[in-house]
Structure 1
């Protein structure tokens, strides 16, 4: 009896969703950003008007747009539901897991390499990118916790986004198309593009329907599925094919729209429970309803202009992501275990091991150095590690001033640094390269120190300004300041970066509920804030002229081009003030890794210590973004490397700063010399290399 009541309830909800879809489709046909009102459209549909302009608007613009919203929404909704079911992870979604980014990279490659312009051409290239990414995601998903899978998706998205940015930097025409397409707009979708992807959508839907029964068996576990005659490996391959076809079709039509699969899967699970078939139908209807509603709203919210659909979906999907992250399903999926086990343990993130025994003792007891009445207590291993990292940073600086399109040997660069070289080399080093290297050095040091502080504060080595929304908060603040100011460059507004970072950090902590044992919530909340801020950034870029948008885009992915002593000075002053203060508080920082109870028992004010640490980290990250934009993954990698060398007993503040400086300077140098006659922004280099680093961190952490 109860089952019959449930089925009746599901049928009622599905019927209501179908009616809502029909009503929204009617609203879509009657609504537009222009001056044509609903009465005129109704008169045309009833045959009472034969106006040619009206016919063009209805049949060429609004009808294909409405159909595209339904198809794309249903495709992304079903894709999200399939991924959540096959991975048994409520956070799985094509946007969060990088599938959309893979399809987008494929389309950009198609536009650049093959001049793709049609829907069929977009689909072919999107299929290739989506297929490769889906395969990687499902490979990682086996045995992964919800948090681990989402972070792996973030790493994939960052790497694929870096590759996409590298391509766009070399082709202004492609970027001009991309900056509008990436917003996920449904405006102006030609009927032939929709017709070209219809077969892929139909096949993907058919494959998804065929996978319903195997998915129901797989949801009980691989062993149970095999016992009842199902083949888990074949089921995963089938789901990969369906997700690839559906997501590639959606991206080819409307661009990468995130969060829609998460929304659809979440609400479909709430409506249909464990019934996979009902969830499939519900997710498709919910995705179509949400996207169609967002598209209708986009036409009227800032009339006569249109708001980006992806931004509106992100404003709804971000809070839903946070709700899902706070649910029991995610907590039971080892999200907390990953955080608890990562806290206080030596990271295993490096893809190599030291070839020889370190030149410091394994038992790193403090040593006391005396000079008359003055004594200093130091630990040998952290001190030696910081010295080695300082030498490495110095070597990176020397390589940075020596390397370039106009080459100079290391010896010539060293002589030019002290004013002994020939005049041409001396001018090249002192006027062009050294100021840029100095800006990269201080920005990297600030990011490395900021990452060390946030990891210590959250007791989680994955909690960095990149993943907590702090960097993107600074980006949005500086972009807004640039819009309302007549300053010629974005980094003229470096001073507002810390303010934007502070606002983003406060929002993340307020929503996540603090930095307690539920640390995974902070990371997922940060990812949601980052996604919303990124959508805002893309919107600003689309609304500016091509020349201005290109310059801002380069900065928004991280670049040191044109930077010098003027923008490096504020960060250097901030480091000169904050670094000694954090070193003086190093003992307190070390105690914070053991929890508030230990801190309070030793007579410290835990709340005040956390606030001071957070304020310092946010200020450093904001200043660094003001100099070079959001240079990705440096704040993650620098403390991991420094901690590996310094040992688990120390909070590697100096080592993190020197490592961050070395990474940024080295990445900028690599970007300047890797392609002859062109320059790859430092943020692209760190994204491409940092994504695999994060993946390696996740996959080699046996304690997660």
Structure 2
């Protein structure tokens, strides 16, 4: 067969394989028509369902003006003042969140991007809480204005920080939004825990609901903002498509990548801020709509944005209908309904084959993996100059070679821990000098001093030490497992699962403080995550992503439990869910100490294999390490440690994230900082608890809030500072 003959035979097949443009346009038009029809059906259902017992026929009569329906005061109230404004709000808010999710996923090139990414939700929450606490804002319009102002301010600050030294790259936007969102969340908690009235209003608003939409007042005020956001979203679609080809090609086509990202961020801010102001923060909807739109539209960004808006409108309207009927005569929080829908979709994302094509199977490892030319530097025998820079410990026939820098770092951290313990025992609301403090520690001196120090302060310090060490080690194992220094046990659903378990046990037993509920909840969460994800997956990334879905579901359960309890009980439980050592002592620290006595030696034994695990699986296998087995063992250790810590002090944020980073900076990149991470975690917990007890006179700030407020700036310093500017 000649080459020409092969070519002529191949042409018809090629023509058949490539879809014609007209066929693609017809397909997109059919999908758009189907989505629009579904939205209209859901809108009609929303108009027909409610507490007013007004059926579809009466609603239709009112809409068409038949049979004098509009003169009926009851129909005018139920349909005209309640259902129509609520349905239109659901449609517009859902479309806004769906469009925002699609834009964020496109600009960050991450199909898991969510509308809270720019700190909008956290800023809105802080604005609402500040308005309630400091200005006595009570009306829905006041909440709307403060939520919108807080969201705009938060997003502007994120853009300002992300634009420094990097032109607002996708990674910088993600990191700045995550860090500032955490800090804003911590500041919100500082205000809430000190005001029961503020918390009582905030705990219902934060769940997200359309129940407060009673007329067109709120919607009319933000309708121009929504319109501007939608127009910008459609106009930016074409340059954003060029940006998907890469910054260099986009510049060659005449676009400015940094300007495009800023415009997208402005559109997302306007749409999301308006949505949060109208109905409260609703998670998962932007992720869900954006991913489904990409699945239906393919690479066509304009179609993606349009489809995402329609999907968001339909999902939120349908969720609102379900929220009205699933727990009559009460209304379920619409954000919980959306989470129940969005979590399975997130699991479907990570299990789908399309995930690999989207570049989501490999986490970014260039920041942690050694350079290729020195790939085996940490595995080969130490050279003479390396041995001279090490400390040799001998005991009979056994000897241990310790890196000098790591050993000195551990000694420095141990000394810092001793200083933190002494300061914590000394500091407090009661005026007690150092001499009286030491006498009380030794059991001499005033009986009140001995009781205060030995029973309350020292017990609390021991509980903080054990919880901090457990969190630090769990974070070290998780980051090594995922090869990503942003990974923490929280991403496995461990913290939220343990928290939900403790609250459920409190509801069932009527008593609070069962330390075993935390590890049990963490174990259940991780079993569900690993089972649903089909194993650890490539580099453990699949488990981490499915853990996000588990966290969302467990967090929704936690919020619902808090809203169903009395104000006093809910306020106390909210403090614990923020992370607190108040009232914790030897009774809860002892089981964790026993757990650490078992788990820490196991972690030290596996530390050598953890060093190998930082390389790819083929390299680890060639060096005699079973990656899957080591990965599973590390995962179980991290789950057990994090669960024990949550059982003591609740879900303390940022300690598991910061401890391995700080310990790694001090000890160097040669080995996994197992011991250093434990010591760092203990120092952070004890120091944060001390700050929380003394920062405000007569008021105690929970340790988890202190670490969250300070953790955001720390994350920015580590990842967006001078040393990290080139990497992100």
**TM-score (structure 2 length as normaliser):** 0.85
Unaligned stretches of 5+ residues in structure 2 = 1-18, 373-384
Residue by residue over 1:49-82, the C-alpha shift from the partner in whole angstroms, topping out at 9 and shown as x without a partner, is 7875565333333222212211211111122223
Deviation at 1:429, TM superposition (A): 1.6
Deviation at 1:173, TM superposition (A): 1.5
- Within the candidate set 360, 365, 368, 1:339 is matched to 365
Name the residue aligned to 2:15.
Answer: none
Is 1:4 aligned with 2:22?
Answer: yes
Residues 482 and 541 in structure 2, CA contact (< 8 A), matched pair in contact too: no
- Within the candidate set 120, 125, 135, 1:99 is matched to 120
Is 1:504 aligned with 2:522?
Answer: no
- Which is bigger in relative contact order (C-alpha 8 A, separation at least 6)? 1
Name the residue aligned to 1:386.
Answer: 410
Q: How does 1:178-327 map to 2 (within 5 A)?
A: 178-191=202-215, 192-222=217-247, 225=250, 230=255, 232-324=257-349
Secondary structure of the residue aligned to 2:487 is coil
Task: Give distance in 2, aligned partners of 1:545 and 1:51.
Answer: 39
Secondary structure of the residue aligned to 2:393 is strand
Deviation at 1:234, TM superposition (A): 4.5
- Within the candidate set 690, 709, 713, 1:692 is matched to 713
Task: Give distance in 1, aligned partners of 2:246 and 2:482.
Answer: 33
Residues 167 and 258 in structure 2, CA contact (< 8 A), matched pair in contact too: no
Single out whichever of 36-45 and 452-461 deviates more from structure 2: 36-45
Task: Give distance in 1, aligned partners of 2:552 and 2:59.
Answer: 37
Is 1:168 aligned with 2:186?
Answer: no
Name the residue aligned to 1:436.
Answer: 460
Task: Give distance in 2, aligned partners of 1:222 and 1:607.
Answer: 37
Deviation at 1:231, TM superposition (A): 5.0
User: Given the superposition, is the C-alpha separation of residues 150 and 314 from structure 1 closer, same or farther in structure 2, using an over 3 Å criterion?
Assistant: farther
Residue by residue over 1:202-231, the C-alpha shift from the partner in whole angstroms, topping out at 9 and shown as x without a partner, is 333333344445445545555555555555
Task: Give distance in 2, aligned partners of 1:473 and 1:21.
Answer: 34
Deviation at 1:509, TM superposition (A): 3.3
Deviation at 1:323, TM superposition (A): 4.5
Residues 94 and 315 in structure 2, CA contact (< 8 A), matched pair in contact too: yes
Unaligned stretches of 5+ residues in structure 1 = 347-360
Q: Which has the larger radius of gyration?
A: 2
Task: Give distance in 2, aligned partners of 1:433 and 1:281.
Answer: 59
How many residues are matched?
A: 687
Single out whichever of 251-260 and 538-547 deviates more from structure 2: 538-547
Deviation at 1:681, TM superposition (A): 0.9
User: Given the superposition, is the C-alpha separation of residues 625 and 162 from structure 1 closer, same or farther in structure 2, using an over 3 Å criterion?
Assistant: same
Single out whichever of 10-19 and 322-331 deviates more from structure 2: 322-331
Deviation at 1:687, TM superposition (A): 1.1
Is 1:22 aligned with 2:40?
Answer: yes
Task: Give distance in 1, aligned partners of 2:706 and 2:387.
Answer: 37
Name the residue aligned to 1:115.
Answer: 136
CA RMSD of the aligned region, Å?
Answer: 3.2
Secondary structure of the residue aligned to 2:330 is coil
Task: Give distance in 1, aligned partners of 2:362 and 2:93.
Answer: 35
- Within the candidate set 662, 668, 678, 1:657 is matched to 678
Task: Give distance in 1, aligned partners of 2:398 and 2:355.
Answer: 57
Task: Give distance in 1, aligned partners of 2:326 and 2:559.
Answer: 18
Task: Give distance in 2, aligned partners of 1:327 and 1:339.
Answer: 22
Name the residue aligned to 1:358.
Answer: none
User: Given the superposition, is the C-alpha separation of residues 344 and 311 from structure 1 closer, same or farther in structure 2, using an over 3 Å criterion?
Assistant: farther
Deviation at 1:623, TM superposition (A): 1.0
Deviation at 1:540, TM superposition (A): 1.6
User: Given the superposition, is the C-alpha separation of residues 223 and 651 from structure 1 closer, same or farther in structure 2, using an over 3 Å criterion?
Assistant: closer
- Within the candidate set 665, 690, 696, 1:675 is matched to 696
User: Given the superposition, is the C-alpha separation of residues 364 and 303 from structure 1 closer, same or farther in structure 2, using an over 3 Å criterion?
Assistant: farther
User: Given the superposition, is the C-alpha separation of residues 42 and 543 from structure 1 closer, same or farther in structure 2, using an over 3 Å criterion?
Assistant: farther
Residues 522 and 640 in structure 2, CA contact (< 8 A), matched pair in contact too: yes
Deviation at 1:161, TM superposition (A): 1.4
Single out whichever of 440-449 and 644-653 deviates more from structure 2: 644-653
User: Given the superposition, is the C-alpha separation of residues 112 and 222 from structure 1 closer, same or farther in structure 2, using an over 3 Å criterion?
Assistant: same
Task: Give distance in 1, aligned partners of 2:358 and 2:300.
Answer: 21
Task: Give distance in 2, aligned partners of 1:424 and 1:509.
Answer: 51
**TM-score (structure 1 length as normaliser):** 0.88
Q: How does 1:643-654 map to 2 (within 5 A)?
A: 643-654=664-675
